[in-house]
Each structure stands twice: as structure tokens, then as C-alpha cells.
Amino acid sequence: MAELLTAAQMRAIEEAAITSGEVSGLELMERAGAGVVDAVLETWPDLGGGAPKAVVLCGPGNNGGDGFVIARRLHERGWTVEVWLYGDPARLPPDARTNYERWRELGPVRPYRDEGPGAFWLEPSDYREDTVLFDALFGTGLTRPVEAFNAVGWATQLSEWRLPEEMRRGAYPAVRVVAVDLPSGLCADSGRRLQSDPPPGDVEEIVADLTVTFHARKLGHVLAEGPSFCGRVVVAPIGLEPRRRALGGREQRVTEVTAPAGLDKAASAHKYAHGHALVVSGGFGRTGAARLAARAALRVGAGLVTLAAPGAAQMEIAGQITALMLRRAESGDELAGLLEDPRLTALCLGPGLGLERARDLVPPALEASRGTVLDADALTAFEDAPEELFGMLHEACVLTPHAGEFARLFPDLAERLKQPAVSGPAASRVDVTREAARRAGCVVLLKGPDTVIAAPDGQSALNAGVGPRAAPWLATAGAGDVLGGLVCGLMARGFTAFDAACAGAWLHVEAARAFGPGLIAEDLPEALPQVLRQLGA
């Protein structure tokens, strides 16, 4: 599984490599700059033949150092290169300074000082279709908002360069924008844009076409606003070892969810060998959500799936299902009675359940100590008394809130995400989900394009439905119910709560991608067989 790094972890890996003597900082910087050039040529082969123009904006730290390497290497390839420096050359850190000096032997460095927006209006006279702008201003060292002049000055200009021709005010052709490591202004740990509070008016930001990062992706490339700022993200290897020790303990590490293993079924296995999931339905006229969840549980391979519904809803359900079974559960007591059957290995409560019914049925469900998914109404029902819910939860539970449900159970944590990100590292969705899991004492899966899964011991994973795995059609009514059913079905099959949440989130995105445009929630379970087949299940 790929690790997604924080800025501190990346620094620790680099420092460990440098201290061990296996590589110098200067060598790493050279490889970083070379990696950016390679990624640019690979992304835009049309730039390989001619003599394009590069505008390299260098910042005051090592991100700027990478910029000087890029400038030198492009110059060597015959590009026309224009270099700007924001900061005092005398104060550059040593490796950046060395590369500044090397570039100075080849060409000038234009100062980029804080003298108001007009001072940074680069001369547009000879920008061409093959101009590439390199943002090497700030990378993982950004700890505070980029000051107003930067944002208003260069970012506005960049945005203008990027507008479609018919919308451009000036005569500039569109420019390709490459971010070195991170688009400047983005917090590496949270994917949030650092901004002063209140934000300066009329600020536009750097939106890159290509972001080239080093060794591994940072959390900021996949979380929150990151994907919309980064464009295509390419990881350039710079010869660093994984160095797990530099990453810290399990409570500091975040892995990216990858294709799950263990979904195949032995040829000889009986249906009971794959578990029996129980999905609790709402009342008459409200059974659709639970039926969706139940079908997903069955499709993901639970041996049997039963819907538990009140008497008045039985006819409605019976008319709609075939492979699913149906039992009556009018009240908490009746559900407790059903749960005396030890063959029921996992439960799902919440989709379409109704708040009153949720308050009645959730306690006996949790009392039964099975793998249990709580979603939707099963979470909202405890809005006024989250501690009461937390007191009943156990380690085999998975809560699957969307942002609104999360805010109902963890209002202070949701508030932390709402506060302006004025300094780095800013609070991230990973931070708050981890804290929520610790507080709840069970796995929490915070839904979104950047779904975060955390366990009470700090183990965390991120299912990035962004970039090449984007699944925008997943934002559709009922999709969340299907996810609950998938996680429940996987727990019925014996997956741990954490593994079921990760695998469920991954399959959910893949099913949406397999179906594609026009997707509605009903299509998700039907798209699963294709995804499972590709996994060799």
C-alpha cells in the first residue's frame, strides 16, 4: 500500500538519507529538478522537439532551489529560460544557493519584490503557445499564507494566462503551469489553501496543469482542495528508500487504499461459510435505502442477506426482492430476538431507518456485538447525545457519516475544519477522522471524494476517488446506502471493521467508474461483478 506523506515525514526521510551519507541534499535537488523536466516532456511530447520558453518563479527556500535546477536543465536543452526570484539570494539555504550560482553563470535572475501588484506584472511581450510556467515558489516549507501581493499579483496573472482564448482580457496566449512539488499556497498536510483571515479580496490562486512531486505523494495532493489545484500529479522518484522508521508510528501514517485481497470464494464453500448479513429496514414507504444496502451486501459476497422490517413494510419489500430474505422486526425487543441466531455475522442499520426506530433498534443491535455498520439515521438519532452512542459502540463497528452527519456527532471536530486555514499544517480530514475514531472507540469512515478511514488506534487510510480515479457520478441519492451495505457484507464475510471499510470504499468507487456516466445507486451493486472479476475474485 502506498503511503501518503506529511511534510514532516518527507523531511524525516530526506534527513535520514542525507545523515546516513547515502546521498547529499544537492544530489536530491538535482534529481528533483531532473524529475520535473522529465515529467514535463513526458506529459507534453510536443515540447520535446522545438525551443520552448520557460518562466521559472523561484521562492526563498529549497523549492526555489529545484527551480534553478529546472532552469539550468531546460537551458541545456535549448529552451529560452527566464528566471525570477522572490527573496534575497544571500539568504537562500545552501543547496538552493549553489543552484542559484550555477544558474547565474548561464543567465540573469530577475528580482520579484514586494512592491505592490504592479511590480510583479511580468512582461507579456513574447509569451507564446509553448510557454511553460514553473511554480517553484513554495513547497513543503509553506507555513503561512502567501502574502496578498503574491496572490493578487502573480496568481491573478497566471489565472489570466490560463483562461480560454475567448475569455482572455489581454493578448497573452494560454500558458502551461507546472507546480514543483505542490502548487504554492497549498498546505502539504491538509490539501487546504493557507489564507489570511479574513482572506484578502479578489484573490485568485495557482491552478496547475501538472504537479511533479518527489518520492511519494503528500496528503495535500489528494485531500480537500488539493486535487483541484494540482492537475495531473506525477511522482518523480529521487532515489530515496521507503524508510518506514522515519514515518513514525501507526497513528502518524496514512496509507492509500488499494485493490482489496481476499474476495475470492473457495469452490467447495457452503453459503454459510460466507456469513449472513442482516440489514434493518425502515417502515412502509421507506424501505428502498435498506434494499439497496442489502443488495450490495449480497453482491459483495455475503452468503445470505436478510432484511428485517416492521410488519407494515413486509408486503412492500416482498414485492421487490428475490434472493434476499425477509424477517419481521417491529421493535428493539424483536430485533434482539432475531439476533439470538449466532449465524447472523454482521448488521447494517441506518439507511431509511427513521430516527425513532433508530433510537429503539440501535442499542440492541450494538448489544449483540456483531460487525455493525451505522449510517444515516442511526447516526443522526444520537445528535443530541453522541456520548450515549459512543458508550455503546465497540471495535467491530463502523460509522459511515457524510460531512453533515459527522458534524452532528462531532461538532467541535467539524468546526476545526471550518476554521480558516491560516497556518500550516492546517487541520485536515485525516486529523479529525482519527480523533473521531478515538472518541467513538470504533472505525469511522468519513465519506467524500477523499474518503478517510480511521481506527481507534490511529490506523488510517485514504480512498482517493480523485484524479484518475475520480468518480463524480457517485454523488447520487442512495450511493451512501450502497456503501453501508458493502461494508456490512464484507464484515459478514469475516473482514475486520477497518479492512471492510477500506475495501468497501475502494469497491464503491470502482463500481461507479465501471458503470460511468448516468450512474444511479441501483447500478452500483450491478456493476460489482465486473469489478470483482477484474480482481480475480
Residue 145 sits in the site that holds ligand NPW (CB under 6 A): yes
Question: At closest approach, how far in Å is the CB of 222 from K ion?
Answer: 17
Question: At closest approach, how far in Å is the CB of 83 from ligand NPW?
Answer: 15
Question: Is 2 annotated for ligand binding?
Answer: no
**Complete DSSP assignment for 386-422:** HHHHHHH--TTEEE---HHHHHHH-HHHHHHHHS---
DSSP category for residue 77 = T
Nearest to 519 by CA among 470, 466, 453, 448: 470
- At 50, list the grid cell: 522545438
Alpha carbon distances (Å) from 469 to 226, 237, 430, 474, 481: 14, 22, 19, 12, 21
Residue 226 sits in the site that holds ligand NPW (CB under 6 A): no
Instruction: Say if CB 184 and CB 137 are below 8 A apart.
Output: yes
- At 146, list the grid cell: 502567501
The binder of ligand NPW chosen from 3, 25, 409, 427 (CB under 6 A): 25
Residue 93 sits in the site that holds ligand NPW (CB under 6 A): yes
Residue 441 sits in the site that holds ligand NPW (CB under 6 A): no
The binder of ligand NPW chosen from 59, 283, 310, 425 (CB under 6 A): 59
Question: Is 239 annotated for ligand binding?
Answer: no
Q: Output 63 or 400, the one with its CB closest to ligand NPW.
A: 63
Distance separating alpha carbons of residues 88 and 77, to the nearest angstrom:
28
Question: Is 142 annotated for ligand binding?
Answer: yes
Question: At closest approach, how far in Å is the CB of 90 from ligand NPW?
Answer: 12
The binder of K ion chosen from 135, 377, 450, 510 (CB under 5 A): 135
The binder of ligand NPW chosen from 180, 212, 417, 430 (CB under 6 A): 180
The binder of ligand NPW chosen from 6, 9, 98, 140 (CB under 6 A): 140
Question: Is 449 annotated for ligand binding?
Answer: yes
- φ, ψ (nearest 5 deg) of residue 115: -125, 35
Residue 180 sits in the site that holds K ion (CB under 5 A): yes
Question: At closest approach, how far in Å is the CB of 426 from ligand NPW?
Answer: 13
Q: Output 214 or 495, the one with its CB closest to ligand NPW.
A: 214
Residue 68 sits in the site that holds ligand NPW (CB under 6 A): no
Nearest to 284 by CA among 255, 258, 313, 309: 313
Instruction: Say if CB 379 and CB 393 are below 8 A apart.
Output: no
Residue 196: count other Cβ atoms within 10 Å of its Cβ.
16
Stretch near ligand NPW under the rule CB under 6 A, chosen from 113-121, 138-146, 322-330, 484-492: 138-146
Size of the site for K ion (CB under 5 A): 5
What crossing angle do the helices spanning 497-515 and 523-534 adopt, rounded to 10°? Answer: 100
Residue 29 sits in the site that holds ligand NPW (CB under 6 A): yes
Distance separating alpha carbons of residues 105 and 349, to the nearest angstrom:
68
User: 145 contacts which partner out of ligand NPW, K ion, none, CB within 5 to 8 A by kind?
Assistant: ligand NPW
- At 169, list the grid cell: 482580457
- At 110, list the grid cell: 530577475
Question: At closest approach, how far in Å is the CB of 466 from ligand NPW?
Answer: 21
Q: Output 142 or 398, the one with its CB closest to ligand NPW.
A: 142
Residue 139 sits in the site that holds ligand NPW (CB under 6 A): yes
- φ, ψ (nearest 5 deg) of residue 422: -90, -15
Instruction: Say if CB 507 and CB 486 are below 8 A apart.
Output: yes
Query: What residues pair up with 178 in beta bridges, in sequence order?
Result: 134, 210
DSSP SS3 for 454: strand
Residue 425 sits in the site that holds ligand NPW (CB under 6 A): no
User: 288 contacts which partner out of ligand NPW, K ion, none, CB within 5 to 8 A by kind?
Assistant: none
Q: Output 56 or 378, the one with its CB closest to ligand NPW.
A: 56
Distance separating alpha carbons of residues 158 and 331, to the nearest angstrom:
61
In three-state form (DSSP H/G/I as H, E/B as E, the rest C), the secondary structure along 5-30 is ECHHHHHHHHHHHHHCCCCCHHHHHH
User: 489 contacts which partner out of K ion, ligand NPW, none, CB within 5 to 8 A by kind?
Assistant: none
Distance separating alpha carbons of residues 217 and 237, to the nearest angstrom:
11
DSSP SS3 for 368: coil
Residue 70 sits in the site that holds ligand NPW (CB under 6 A): no
User: 260 contacts which partner out of ligand NPW, K ion, none, CB within 5 to 8 A by kind?
Assistant: none
Q: What is the bridge-based pairing of β-strands 304-309 and 346-349?
A: unpaired
Query: What residues pair up with 399 in beta bridges, in sequence order?
Result: 374, 444
Residue 63 sits in the site that holds ligand NPW (CB under 6 A): yes
Residue 190 sits in the site that holds ligand NPW (CB under 6 A): no
Q: Which residues carry a binding-site annotation for AMP? A: 447-451, 480
> Which residues make up the interface to ligand NPW (CB under 6 A)?
14, 25, 28-29, 32, 59-66, 93, 138-147, 180-181, 214
> Which residues make up the interface to K ion (CB under 5 A)?
135, 139, 179-180, 184
Q: Which residues carry a binding-site annotation? A: 62-66, 135, 139-145, 181, 184, 289, 352, 402, 447-451, 480-481
Q: Which residues carry a binding-site annotation for K(+)? A: 63, 135, 184
